[in-house]
Amino acid sequence: MRIKNLPILQILFFLSLVIDLHGQTTPEKSFRVIGFFTAQHDPAHISFVHEANKWFWEQGQKNNFQYDSTNDWSNLKADVLKKYDVVLFLDTRPEDSVQRAAFQTYMEQGGAWMGFHFAAFALTPSIYPQNWDWYHEKLLGSGQYKGNTWRPTRAKLKVELKHQATDGLPKIFQAAPNEWYSWQNDLAKNKDIRILLSIDSSSFPLGTGPKAHEIWHEGYYPVVWTNKKFNMLYFNMGHNDMDYGGTNKALSSSFSSEAQNKLIMNGLRWLAEKK
């Protein structure tokens, strides 16, 4: 290739392209993340999935990690999972027994997982029954879904435990609007569960109804936790407020809290390092 007659700036630009094409100027990604999602049912869960895929990709660009996502749960298999440092479940869980077995093996062999909101949901009877004991009882420890607040509202969260995921967070901070879940099992009594954040009592009453049981006036509600036996983090967050019955447009964002975003990124880095 003849370049001696080109102006110096054009020569430098040409050389930069050659170097980039050979991969010498692109820094290697520090870790790799894959997000699994379904995004077919509740408009709020769909809204969150779209937000999360965009947000994690942007964070990857800023923080030098690779983010991929898929709604093809058949990718939940050993030869795909081994390529990633952290697996995310953004809204649901695998239903296929082969996929469940592959995920269990991945986790038992040191894999890392982060789940959001509906990824922990199970209720018998429903279209998502509690028919996976290892996941709901052993990994999450929460058992079945018990109840929730309504409508999605902000809550003040209290840091319960010093941990890499909570590093740099205020003791109490305001989360993004969310539908908050309660669980059948008492997580505080599980010796393997480490509760990182719970709803602070200053949040009560939490929820606006209209049903009385959708407004919480007291109680202890863990919202973020990990399990000492696995590299995992579960976040109860992931349900936007929506204009149900109208435009179905999102009225809030699950990534509108700076402290909550820091919590998620801290947790992601911790899981990648653990893996």
| Domains identified in the chain, total number | 1
Question: Considering the domain boundaries, does residue 21 fall inside one?
Answer: no
Local confidence band at 11 (pLDDT 50, 70, 90 cut-offs): very low
Question: Considering the domain boundaries, does residue 15 fall inside one?
Answer: no
Is the predicted pLDDT of residue 43 greater than 60, yes or no?
Answer: yes
Sequence-distant (6+) residues with CB within 8 A of 204 are 216, 217, 218
Local confidence band at 27 (pLDDT 50, 70, 90 cut-offs): low
Using a 10 angstrom Cβ sphere, with 0-12 exposed, 13-18 middle and 19 or more buried, the burial of residue 142 is buried
pLDDT digit string, tens, across residues 12-22: 333 333 333 33
Would the pTM count as exceeding 0.85? yes
Question: Considering the domain boundaries, does residue 9 fall inside one?
Answer: no
Q: Helices 43-63 and 258-274 sit at what angle, rounded to 10 degrees?
A: 70
Question: Considering the domain boundaries, does residue 241 fall inside one?
Answer: yes
* Angstrom distance (rounded) from CA 86 to CA 33: 5
Domain carrying residue 47: 29-274
pLDDT digit string, tens, across residues 83-122: 999 999 999 999 999 999 999 999 999 999 999 999 999 9
Question: Considering the domain boundaries, does residue 98 fall inside one?
Answer: yes
Domain CATH code at residue 101: 3.40.50.880
Give 25 or 108, the one with higher predicted confidence.
108
Nearest CA-CA partner of 98 in 81, 84, 122, 119:
81
Q: List the structure tokens of 202.
A: 């200053």
Q: Tell me the mean pLDDT in the region 234-249.
A: 94
